[in-house]
Amino acid sequence: MERIIFYILALIMIVFAIKAVSSRKMLRSVIYLLFVLVGIAGIYFMVDYTFLAAIQLAVYAGGVIVLIIFSVLLVHHIELKLDDASLKSRIVAIALSLLGASVTLFAIWTYNFNPIENYNRIEVADIGRGLLSYGDGGFILPFEVISVLLLAVMIGAIVIAKGKKLEQ
């Protein structure tokens, strides 16, 4: 059962990822990306990390996609089709991607992983304790740094998007 669901998810993700990078209508490619992100949340659900799946749905599907759709609507006419890349650059890109993928897949398939059979699920409380612990394997410092980073990004985004005042 899980096998079938995983293969369906994988198929959906690969097909929509290809559509997202090749569709000539910009708004459609954003929606195709949304399907890929929801599929990734499905993978997180399948490995029992439900908190991470919820974060993925809330931040990506809820936040980033809405932000990108909003900016597409602001800067792009919906009826316009995007320029296609030239055949030569597309062939070069496909060749580079295939080369990289084959090297990576070769490295993965020849490496001998030793998976540990487990079906334990983690509680949200464990994640919270790990993020706020000072001890070994604690993540308090990056947690704090990321809060400062988010504040800086918020202020920076406002300042940059506001831009210069138009001269009268």
Question: In the range 119-138, which residues lie near other proteins by CB under 8 A?
Answer: 119-120, 122, 126-127, 130-131, 137
Kindly tell me which residue out of 79, 113, 134, 141 binds other proteins, with binding defined by CB under 8 A.
113
Q: Is 139 helix (H, G, I), strand (E, B) or coil?
A: coil
Is the CB of 17 or the CB of 79 nearer to other proteins?
17
| Residues in the chain, total | 168
Strand residue runs (E) in 24-164: none
- Angle of CA points 51, 42, 62, to nearest 5°: 65
Among 12, 54, 61, 64, binds other proteins (CB under 8 A): 64
73 sits near other proteins (criterion: CB under 8 A):
no
Site string for other proteins, 4-33 (x = CB under 8 A): --x---x--xx--xx-xxx---x--xx--x
List the interface residues with other proteins, window 38-57 (CB under 8 A).
40, 43-44, 46-49, 51-52, 55-56
Among 63, 78, 81, 132, the residue binding other proteins under the rule CB under 8 A is: 63
Which position among 8, 78, 81, 97 is part of the footprint of other proteins (CB under 8 A)? 97
By CB under 8 A, tell whether 96 contacts other proteins.
yes
Determine the Cα–Cα distance for residues 144 and 132; give it in Å rounded to an integer. 9
Q: Which of 3, 79, 125, 168 binds other proteins (CB under 8 A)?
A: 3
Compute the least distance from the CB of residue 17 to other proteins, in Å. Answer: 4
CA–CA distances in Å: residue 85 to residues 4, 22, 76, 90: 36, 10, 18, 6
- Cα-Cα-Cα-Cα torsion 54, 58, 64, 66, nearest 10 degrees, comes to 140
Q: How far apart are CA 150 and CA 69, in angstroms?
A: 21
Q: How far apart are CA 92 and CA 100, in angstroms?
A: 12
> Binding-site residue total for other proteins (CB under 8 A)?
85
